[in-house]
A = this chain, B = another copy of it.
């Protein structure tokens, strides 16, 4: 096992990175794992792998864990999975660039909004070969790493939408990934992946609108206690802006209400208030007790901010998104970096048509 399987590099040893490494290890593949934390890397090397529990069970060998990218992205690696907060894409793209091979598939899990595009542009800017970045619009598992090398996985998604840059390689990637990730389905292109990411709406709005509960470390549920009618109605308006951006780029996207009803049979109703109130699997979720959470520092600068950038590039008005962004940066700006802004994406130097051509055709 292990060394006889397909050779994978997994970049990122957080909850999701360990889960992906563990899944591949259980499947019998040869996995190398990169992470920035020496203690984590040492612990996994000492164990020789990752103990998986719950839905995926067993010991998953890891060939090598390292804090050195060159030791993980070795020339023998066939595929790369980048499983890190999208906030770190720029710096990790720089570190990966020298070692990425021509035509190598690089999965980006989950990319938030325009994460694959940003990773690809930065890596190319640092001299990377022509690789195939793959936008994955969500994680495959709900997972939690209790300790380095000990991961619980429970509940997997029925499907995960993916899109390669360029888009015509998406079906090739889906085929290539089927042995590892049979849940993957092709999206039209990486722009569709970005625009179906509603984390931008469903995390930061309940969080910022319940700041005092978070700072008081109260016991609360973000989607029942925290999303009352006025707040939900605001989310409906923000989601309508997301759909308008979609239309400007030629997509007839589903609204969040439809997406919730499709994801969960028990969700019903016509508004975000309705679907969240009937979303019984959210009943047990504990509200945030810290502002230093990726539901804020990731989902605002790297999901909502680039959606606003996409809107501006296409001339779509997004007053609700912008008002929420503005007040959020005023309230909790110390936890947020600028993120994937219009300028950071280079949108001030291209037209909508140029951008679409680039993200679709590579």
Which residues of A are at the interface with B, using a C-beta cutoff of 8 A?
209-212, 214-216, 225-231, 233-234, 237, 291, 319-320, 323-324, 326-327, 330-332
Q: Which of B228, B320, B330 contacts A216 (CB 8 A)?
A: B228
Closest Cβ of chain B to A250, distance in Å, is 28
Q: Which of B215, B225, B332 contacts A212 (CB 8 A)?
A: B225
Q: Is the interface of A mostly helix, strand, loop or mixed?
A: helix
**Whole-angstrom CA separation of A211 from B229 in the bound complex:** 9
Q: Which of B212, B215, B237, B326 contacts A323 (CB 8 A)?
A: B326
- With A225-B216, A323-B326 as contacts: A331 and B230 at CB distance below 8 Å: yes
19 CB < 8 A contacts A-B: A209-B211, A209-B212, A210-B212, A212-B225, A212-B227, A212-B228, A215-B228, A215-B229, A215-B231, A230-B331, A233-B331, A234-B330, A234-B331, A319-B326, A320-B330, A323-B326, A323-B327, A324-B327, A327-B327
A320: nearest residue on chain B (CB-CB)?
B330
**Whole-angstrom CA separation of A215 from B231 in the bound complex:** 10
**Whole-angstrom CA separation of A216 from B291 in the bound complex:** 23
List residues of chain B with CB within 8 A of the CB of A215.
228-231
Number of chain copies forming the complex: 2
Closest Cβ of chain B to A279, distance in Å, is 16
A330 pairs with B212, CB closer than 8 A: no
**Whole-angstrom CA separation of A226 from B211 in the bound complex:** 9
A332: nearest residue on chain B (CB-CB)?
B230
List residues of chain B with CB within 8 A of the CB of A331.
230-231, 233-234
**Whole-angstrom CA separation of A336 from B241 in the bound complex:** 23
**Whole-angstrom CA separation of A319 from B231 in the bound complex:** 22
A231 pairs with B209, CB closer than 8 A: no
List residues of chain B with CB within 8 A of the CB of A226.
212
A211 pairs with B237, CB closer than 8 A: no
List residues of chain B with CB within 8 A of the CB of A323.
323, 326-327, 330
A214: nearest residue on chain B (CB-CB)?
B228
Closest Cβ of chain B to A275, distance in Å, is 17
**Whole-angstrom CA separation of A327 from B209 in the bound complex:** 11
A330 pairs with B209, CB closer than 8 A: no
Closest Cβ of chain B to A42, distance in Å, is 37
Closest Cβ of chain B to A216, distance in Å, is 6
